[in-house]
Amino acid sequence: MNQAESALENKQGQLQEKVKKEIEREFDKEFIRLRENTGFSEEYEYFLHILSFQLYPEKFKEYIGKPLAGISCVQMPCELFDASGFHPLRLCSGSFAVQRLSLPHIPALTCPFIKSITGAFYRDESIEKLCDLIVIPSTCDWTVKLPEMTGGKAESIHVLELPHVKESERGVKRWTGEVYELKRILKNYSNKRSFRKHLHISINRYIDAWYALNELIQLKRKKLISPVLSMVVTNAFMLDSVESWTKNVQRIIKMDHHHIDNSRSEIFLAGSPIFFPNMKLARLIEEAGMHIAADELCTSERILTSVPVYDEDSEYGMMKALAESYHLSCSCPVYIDNERRIRNILYTMRTNGIKGVVYHVLKGCHPYDIDSFSFERKMKEEGFRFLKIETDYSKEDRMNILMRLEAFRETL
């Protein structure tokens, strides 16, 4: 190694160490804020512990004790991974600091979510790099290019080709074929026998989790728990075994709950996902005197969208039910035919007396940005207030967003 190469390696090592410390500070600051949140109790400490595993990849791998399958979307049937002996791990970095490692490799206007995932692959140590398999659905242009942007850091990648016309016979057929292909890929990595038996067990595990999640959501609807703390719980979902996560959500459900300030205006939160430790927008909504009574975020209420319904417990019956459940219930704006999504949101708002929508767009998140215009028109036609917040993982716009949220609250 010559002098120039040695100097470059030393510089890269210093950057790695600096980013690592910055990420640790991000997590520590967020943990402190959460412990100061109204309603925080010891039951939530478990989920902070689970989230902290992102700082200690080897400890996480040891804790899970299974091969890891990294997935970039909740439309992947978790039951398939579980039945094949994998732990499905959401590629879900909300760290701002880790983006520094991705900057030389991607466009400046890349979505913050993708910046953070890419940066995680360029870290010396990260959970993402410990994955035995990465599964990426072709949801948006950014995820399609993710294998290229990670520069070969992910050794084994499988891409699911997502049909963007959902509610058609052709779309359902294509998606079902993709789910069967995923099963074949997973079985090639797995030594599990009696797949049908394991799939049946896995489906029941996730049904239990779905029921627990829905009870948690009802507590949020009734203003009995903080929406920020609810998001902490859901962000921890794929960093834990499904059984342990469900058991600890049930501990929260069984707590003695007290009403949060009833003067808070109830709003619906739509748009781009919120990933830990970047809880900025959810926290600012609370600071502005509003309560997120409901949302459609794929890191919150949509982490588990429906229960697979099957008439027979044959492998075919269960596979068909899983494919339909994950496909038809997904309300991501990457689909062309999404009228069901709007109907469901309007029903939720009317049922719960919600008067306004805050629409969250991560800068560079094109599907949600484009969707926001038609979404705003439909909400206003139905008599609801609407506010669009476009932001990223940085903190500089915090006060500007807070002032806009406070002004929005006055219109409710």
Instruction: State pTM to two decimals.
Output: 0.94
Query: What is the C-alpha to C-alpha distance for residues 399 and 218, in angstroms, rounded to an integer?
Result: 31
Coil, strand or helix at 292: strand
- Distant-in-sequence, close-in-space partners of 173: CB < 8 Å, separation ≥ 6: none
> Which of 142, 360, 389 is closest to 272 using CA atoms?
360
CA distance linking residue 248 with residue 241, whole number of Å: 11
- Confirm if 405 and 387 have CB atoms less than 8 A apart: yes
- Cβ atoms of 116 and 91 within 8 Å: the answer is no
SS3 136: strand
What local confidence, expressed as pLDDT, does residue 144 receive? 86
Q: What percent of the chain has pLDDT over 70?
A: 97
CA distance 180 to 80: 10
Could you tell me if 271 and 363 are in contact, meaning their C-beta atoms sit under 8 angstroms apart?
no
What are 326-329's contacts with CB under 8 Å, separation 24+? 326/75, 326/76, 326/77, 326/179, 327/75, 327/166, 327/171, 327/172, 327/175, 328/166, 328/167, 328/172, 329/305
How many angstroms separate the CA atoms of 137 and 143, rounded?
7
Number of Cβ within 10 Å of residue 406's Cβ equals 14
Distance CA 399, CA 408 (A): 14
pLDDT at site 229: 97
Judge if the upstream peptide bond of residue 277 is cis by omega within 30 degrees of 0: yes
Report the residue count for the chain: 412
Q: What is the pLDDT of residue 1?
A: 61
CA distance 178 to 279: 34
Do the Cβ atoms of 272 and 245 come closer than 8 Å? no
Q: Please give the radius of gyration of the chain, using alpha carbons only, rounded to the nearest integer.
A: 21
pLDDT for 4? 62
Contact of 342 with 378, CB cutoff 8 Å = yes
Residues 321 and 311: their CA atoms lie apart, in Å, by: 9
Q: Whole-angstrom distance between the N-terminal and C-terminal Cα of the chain?
A: 65
Instruction: Delimit the domains of the chain by residue range.
Output: 3-410
Token readout for 156 is 């084994």
Residue 100 CA to residue 347 CA, distance in Å, equals 42
Cα gap 185→402, rounded to integer Å: 47
* Spatial distance between the Cα atoms of 17 and 153, rounded to a whole number of angstroms: 19
Q: How far apart, in Å, are the Cα atoms of 362 and each of 67, 189, 270, 370, 391?
A: 31, 35, 12, 12, 5
What region does 397 belong to: left with phi over 0, alpha with psi -120 to 50, or beta? Answer: alpha
Contact between residue 284 and residue 398 where contact means Cβ atoms under 8 Å apart: yes
One-letter amino acid identity for 201? I
Q: How far apart are CA 96 and CA 410, in angstroms?
A: 31
pLDDT tens digits for the chain (412 residues)? 666 656 656 778 899 999 999 999 999 999 999 999 988 999 999 999 999 999 999 999 999 999 999 998 888 899 999 999 999 999 878 899 999 999 888 998 899 999 999 999 999 999 999 999 999 888 888 888 888 888 777 778 888 888 888 888 898 899 999 999 999 999 887 766 678 999 999 999 999 999 999 999 999 999 999 999 999 999 999 999 999 999 999 999 999 888 877 788 999 999 999 999 999 999 999 999 999 999 999 999 999 988 888 877 899 999 999 998 888 888 889 888 888 899 999 999 999 999 999 999 999 999 999 999 999 999 999 999 999 999 999 999 999 999 999 999 999 9
Structure tokens at 61: 């791998």
- Closest-CA residue to 283 (of 234, 230, 332): 230
Cis, bond preceding 147 (omega within 30 deg of 0): no
